[in-house]
Amino acid sequence: MNEKKYYAARLFTGTAWLNQQVVTVRDGQIIKITPAGNDEDVSARFEIMAPAFIDLQIYGAREKLFSVYPEAASLQALYEHCLEGGTSHFQPTVATNSYEVFYKSIDAVRDYRNNGGRGCIGLHIEGPWLSPVRKGAHIESFIHSPSVEQARNLLEYGKGVITMITLAPEVCSKEVQELVHSYGVKISGGHSNAAYEEALAAFDGLVHTTTHLYNAMSPLQHRAPGMVGAIFNHANVMASIIPDGYHVDFAAVRIAKTIMQERLFVITDAVTGTTSGPYPHQLAGDKYEAGGILSGSALSMAQAAKNLVTHTGSTVEEAFRMCSLYPARVMGMEQTMGKIETGYPVNIVCLNAQLEADTVLTEG
C-alpha cells in the first residue's frame, strides 16, 4: 500500500476553495480530504493545490515538433514539458500535413502508450479538411475536402488513438462527419469560412466544440455574424481560446468569456522551434512565427491561467476551471479529471502564491 499525504494552505477542488487541507492519496487515488491537524506529518506542503491542467492542443516541445519527429521520444519530451507548466494530460496535435505524417504520428502515440507513456489523451489532427480561405499558417497544398474512403482509411488506422479532428464543417460532407463521430472522435470546427447559418447547423449536428476562437474562422460582422457569431449565440457549443495576448487581444477574451461562460476553455496552441518540415516555427519574442505569420504560442497552461487573472479580470477559480474542468468536459472525462475529490485519480497541480507551477502530482 502506497499512501501519501499532501498539505495545501489553499485547496481548490474544482468547485470550491478549502483552507488548510490534507489530501491523502493511495495507489493513485484520492482517498480522503481532511482539515489539517497541528504538526500533521505530510510528504510535502504547498501554497495552492488545484486540479492539474489539461491541454487539448499542443504541437511539440524542446525542439521536437511532433509532426517532424513523430516518435515516442518526442511525446516523452512533450509530457515532461507539460508537467513543468502544470499540465498532467495533453493531446499532441499535428497540423495540416501529408497522410504519411498522420500515420507515423498515430504509430508514435500507440508506441508511447504501449511502453508506459503517461499523460497522452490521444492524437488531435488539425486539418487537412479545412477551408483554404481560413488556412492561417497551414499549408494550402495539403488542404482538401475528404472523400468517405479517405476519412475511413485514416480513422481505421488511427482507431483508439485519434481522439479529436479539427475540420471545417462546410467542406466535409455529412457522411464524413457521421463517420468521424462513429469512431468516437470529437469533431472540432475550425479553420472555417462557414456562414452563420452553416455554423449553427453544424453545432446542432455533430460539431460540439471549436478550435481557437476568433483565429482562422469567419469573423463576427454586423451583417454577417459568421462562425464567431454562431459560437456566441449557440447554447451548447464550446470553444478553445489562446490567451497569450497575440492570438487574441485580452479584451476579446473577456468579451467571449462574458458571453460564453462555461463554454470557453483554454489551449496553449504551443509549438517549438524547428527548421525542418513544412512548418519552420521560429521564436519571435514570446511567440512563434512561420514565414512571418503567427504560427503558434510559447504559452504554458500555468501562464495562460495567470494571464486570465492578470489581463482579463477572471477569478482564479474560473481561470483554473478553464484550464482543467472545461477541457475535461469537452473530452467526456469530467468523471475522472478536472476535480480534486475523493475517488478521483491523483492529478493535482501545486502552485505558489504568484500562480507559478511548482510541481504536478499525477498517477496517469
Cα dihedral 352, 353, 356, 360 sign: positive
Q: Does 234 carry a binding-site annotation? A: no
Residues 19 and 12: beta-carbon distance below 8 Å: no
Q: What is the 3-class SS of 135-203, one letter each residue?
A: CCCCCHHHCCCCCHHHHHHHHHHCCCCEEEEEECHHHCCHHHHHHHHHCCCEEEECCECCCHHHHHHHH
| C-beta atoms surrounding 226 within 10 Å | 19
Q: Which of 323, 352, 347, 326 is nearest to 336 (CA)?
A: 347
- Indicate the pairing of strand 282-284 with strand 357-362: unpaired
Amino acid at 138: H
For every residue of 3-38, DSSP letters joined together read EEEEEEEEEE-SS-EEEEEEEEEETTEEEEEEEPPT
Q: Does 295 carry a binding-site annotation? A: yes
Residues sharing a CB contact under 8 Å with residue 125, sequence separation 6 or more, in sequence order: 93, 94, 102, 105, 154, 158, 162, 164, 165, 166
Q: Does 296 carry a binding-site annotation? A: yes
Q: Does 126 carry a binding-site annotation? A: yes
Residues 42 and 7: beta-carbon distance below 8 Å: yes
Q: Does 144 carry a binding-site annotation? A: no
Q: Which of 181, 187, 189, 237 is nearest to 212 (CA)?
A: 189
Q: Does 290 carry a binding-site annotation? A: no
Q: Does 223 carry a binding-site annotation? A: yes
Q: Does 200 carry a binding-site annotation? A: no
Catalytic residues, which ones? 269
Q: Does 307 carry a binding-site annotation? A: no
List the binding residues for substrate: 137, 215-216, 223, 247, 294-296
For the annotated binding site for Zn(2+), the residues are: 126, 191, 212
